[in-house]
Structure 1
Amino acid sequence: MTLLFNNISKHQIPKHINFSLRLNHNLSSYLATNHSQKHANNHFTTQDWAKTISTHITNCRNIHQLNQIYAHVIRTHMLHFHSDPFYWNTIIRAYTSFCFPSKALYVTIAMSRAGIYPDTYTLPVVLKAVSQKTDISMVKQLHTLAIKHGLETNLFCESGFISLYAKVGEFNDAGKVFDESPERNLGSWNAVIGGLSRGGRGREAVDMFLEMKRSGLEPDDVTMVSVTSACGSLGDLGLAFQLHKCVFQAKSIGKSDVLMSNSLVDMYGKCGRMDLAYMVFSRMCERNVSSWTSLIVGYATHGHVSDALECFRGMREAHVTPNGVTFVGVLSACVHGGLVQEGRHYFNMMKNEYKIEPWLQHYGCMVDLLGRCGLLEEAREMVKEMPMKANVVIWGSLMGACEKYGNVKMGEWVAKHLQQLEPWNDGVYVVMSNIYASNGLWEDVGRMRMIMKGRKVEKIPGYSVGETVEI
């Protein structure tokens, strides 16, 4: 745990937990009064007091309340008198639920320093906290701790380590934990399939799913969501039909209908069959934000502009609140349709009506939309005003617009930024050569060609591969 503490310190977190906050006087008074009254009535024990504090921690509505109560815990030395892991776990779980992994880890360190060993409930919660930081060194240290206390084969710890290793891209380590499992349960299979699917290794995820089926285990809703997502990334329609049958089987044994139906909408959308995606959507008894968003994104991806915007209108009429992903789909539809006014309208709606701070993807859509429609100066201003740095995708879309409209000056400006981000990428020379040629600047074209020749730049032809998988 000392190593874990040192590792956290590198992330510029204070060396000691500083909970010298302005304690809420009313809260403290309430707890103290409650304590005194129960004691006076002889119905109070220190164990009851500890359980009362734990209940308040569990019922916290925000991080401010949690900090106040934890400060009270420290001040009253409750954890010194009640050292059961249950109380430590409650605090760790609370900080994790509010997405404060650093504080959750500090409580874990304090627990270790107090000589309290983690139990089967501690590590799964700590692993969830670490998953919010995705730090491989922390994962390895916690794995060592689990082995030391004989918890590495615990049902939830094992699946937690598989998921974490996959999340940080350590698929070999994830596979090793899975392979060394003495008894592979559905949670472990789901962890490895989900990890491979989220990590962009769709074919491996499908292969693992087939292996799980051969082992005699039946998939649940979690399995099917992961494997249908993997199928969508592969664009394999034949496989999609077979997986749809598996979803029906999982539904027949009482698994979540909404979750799996959403995954089918997403899968068919990624495979280009929006008719089937809509068929699944139309038959859903319950639709949530993910249901509508999957359909909107599917329509937008395949250029069905009016369908995407009509679907968004239906979503608003159904009083379903859109999220950031929804607006990525809506703005993408505007890009495909060249709808500048509509794009501006939805971008402002997202910020002003739904109070969603634009992501890099939202800015990317707007820059692409403005660039495609020839509004290069407006696109440039949007890039300059973004609260985050533009990535290669945004610069690339703006570069494409410069090529389309033959804008030499802006093309050179964009090319400079692209070269700073990816100095090894030679594609920028090809595009600049085309821009110079469209303006008859043959000396500059010759200069670009000399650079390309010196760097041995070649255009690599594309190809596609088709596969069929039998389930």
Structure 2
Amino acid sequence: MCFSRKGELDNAYKVFKKMPVRDTVSWNSMIAAAVRSSRPKEALILQTRMMRSGVEPDCFSFSTTLSACARAGALSHGKRVHSLMKEKEVDYESNPILCSALIDMYSKCGEISMARRIFYNVKRLSVSIWNSMISGLAMHGLGSDAVQVFEDMTKEGFFPDEVTFVGILTACSHCGMLDEARFYFTAMQQDYYVKPQAEHYCAMVDAMARAGKVVDAYETIKAMPIEPDAAIWRALLGPCRRHGRRDLAEMALGQMRQCGGEDYVLLSSMYCSVKQWGRAESMWRVMKAKKLRKAKGLSWFEVKGRVHQFKAGDRSHSKYEHIVRILVELTRRAKEEGLVQVTESVAEESKKSFLLAPKTSAMKDL
């Protein structure tokens, strides 16, 4: 645990392998270390090895493994853990930690209906269970349902906490419910005495910016009693691109202490859209000088119990050519139906404009 808290998972694993006897606590510690280090697939492998070694899992084992399943999108593995809990007659319905972990796992693995079924069939005796359901509905874009769960929560006498309001504000933000977001942000402070933290301000800025109120979002950031972090500025940066507010985008990028490659690419794309080639080039120069690259997108899904991961531009999968053929056919059908992604068309137009722009020597190098 000492090594894992420092982020030294490999050193933790070396100690673990040297142990002459590994009990439930040591296995749990190793699995939790893998989850904490954002290596959920390794955590699932460890959990499987733990079961094969004959060590009996406890509630902590189950909750940690469910967390790994949620992060890896391993629905089949999560279902097996759920079945194992039933087989061993674990009273998870009365355990808030396990209930929350199950709801979180099913929500993040796309089974929001199952998450709801568990939520309404267990004893909702802890705020954490309500929070998991609200957050799950938020990530699925079910803002009205999240609001209803919040109202039911307060009617049953539960006092919402900081996590609750992060969930409800995020739900409102993702569903364009700006008025509701403002209502809950005010109620959070006046009715429930919850002091807004960076996560709450980030959700509010995101809600306003998504609704096109980028100036209001900027004013909210300026009025914050705490220093805005990169996540808050980034919540403003993306919508500035969509609404053509280059001035605010430049200001947001200038305020961010730690900028990623994707932030510079976003601003460069904005300059391209208005044919300001020099400024677009300067963004790439900055990236080159700072040795920054745009982080590749990562997606994954599960087929027959196996998790398949893909990065942007990745051709290593054994079924790559077959997958591409399917995607090409799906794209063709979508276009026949008149469906075109706005983000795709804007990005393509920016790309064409950039390619047609006069090339300087620096641009040729890039």
Q: Same fold (TM over 0.5)?
A: yes
Give SS of 2:49's match. Answer: helix
User: Partner amino acid for 1:303?
Assistant: G
- Which structure has the larger Rg? 1
User: How far apart are 1:405 and its partner, in Å?
Assistant: 0.9
User: Partner amino acid for 2:76?
Assistant: G
1:367 — aligned with what?
205
Q: Does 1:327 align with 2:165?
A: yes
* Structure 1 segment 76-91 matched on structure 2, within 5 A: none
Residues 254/458 of structure 1: CA separation in 2 closer, same or farther (3 Å cut): closer
Give SS of 1:213's match. Answer: helix
- The count of aligned residue pairs is 302
User: Partner amino acid for 2:279?
Assistant: R
- Aligned-CA RMSD value: 2.4
The superposition leaves residues 403-456 of structure 1 with CA deviations (integer Å, 9 ceiling, x where unpaired) of 1110122122112123x422xx34334322333345x4x3x3333135526856
8 Å CA contact retained: 2:267, 2:283: no
2:174 — aligned with what?
336
The superposition leaves residues 112-155 of structure 1 with CA deviations (integer Å, 9 ceiling, x where unpaired) of xxxxxxxxxxxxxxxxxxxxxxxxxxxxxxxxxxxxxxxxxxxx
Q: Does 1:452 align with 2:284?
A: yes
* Structure 1 segment 66-215 matched on structure 2, within 5 A: 162=1, 164-215=2-53
Task: Return the structure number with greater relative CO, CA threshold 8 A, min gap 6.
Answer: 2
* Distance in 2 (alpha carbons) for counterparts of 1:299 and 1:253: 25
2:241 — aligned with what?
403
1:19 — aligned with what?
none
Q: Does 1:428 align with 2:266?
A: no
8 Å CA contact retained: 2:93, 2:123: no
* Distance in 1 (alpha carbons) for counterparts of 2:301 and 2:268: 35
The superposition leaves residues 255-274 of structure 1 with CA deviations (integer Å, 9 ceiling, x where unpaired) of 96433222111110111111
The superposition leaves residues 44-92 of structure 1 with CA deviations (integer Å, 9 ceiling, x where unpaired) of xxxxxxxxxxxxxxxxxxxxxxxxxxxxxxxxxxxxxxxxxxxxxxxxx
1:133 — aligned with what?
none
* Distance in 2 (alpha carbons) for counterparts of 1:454 and 1:284: 54
User: How far apart are 1:203 and its partner, in Å?
Assistant: 0.8
TM-score normalised over the length of structure 2: 0.76
Residues 190/385 of structure 1: CA separation in 2 closer, same or farther (3 Å cut): same
* Distance in 2 (alpha carbons) for counterparts of 1:398 and 1:331: 16
* Distance in 1 (alpha carbons) for counterparts of 2:198 and 2:242: 23
1:122 — aligned with what?
none
User: How far apart are 1:354 and its partner, in Å?
Assistant: 1.5
User: How far apart are 1:306 and its partner, in Å?
Assistant: 0.9
The superposition leaves residues 219-249 of structure 1 with CA deviations (integer Å, 9 ceiling, x where unpaired) of 1111000000100011122222211112213
Gaps of 5+ in 1: 1-161
Give SS of 2:299's match. Answer: coil
8 Å CA contact retained: 2:237, 2:249: yes
Give SS of 1:388's match. Answer: coil
8 Å CA contact retained: 1:221, 1:255: no
Q: Match for 2:143 among 305, 317, 330?
A: 305
Residues 330/249 of structure 1: CA separation in 2 closer, same or farther (3 Å cut): same
User: Partner amino acid for 1:445?
Assistant: W
| Identity rate, percent | 34
* Structure 1 segment 242-281 matched on structure 2, within 5 A: 242-252=80-90, 257-281=95-119
* Distance in 2 (alpha carbons) for counterparts of 1:447 and 1:253: 61
* Distance in 1 (alpha carbons) for counterparts of 2:152 and 2:283: 53
Q: Match for 2:183 among 324, 329, 345?
A: 345
Gaps of 5+ in 2: 307-366
8 Å CA contact retained: 1:219, 1:250: no
2:312 — aligned with what?
none
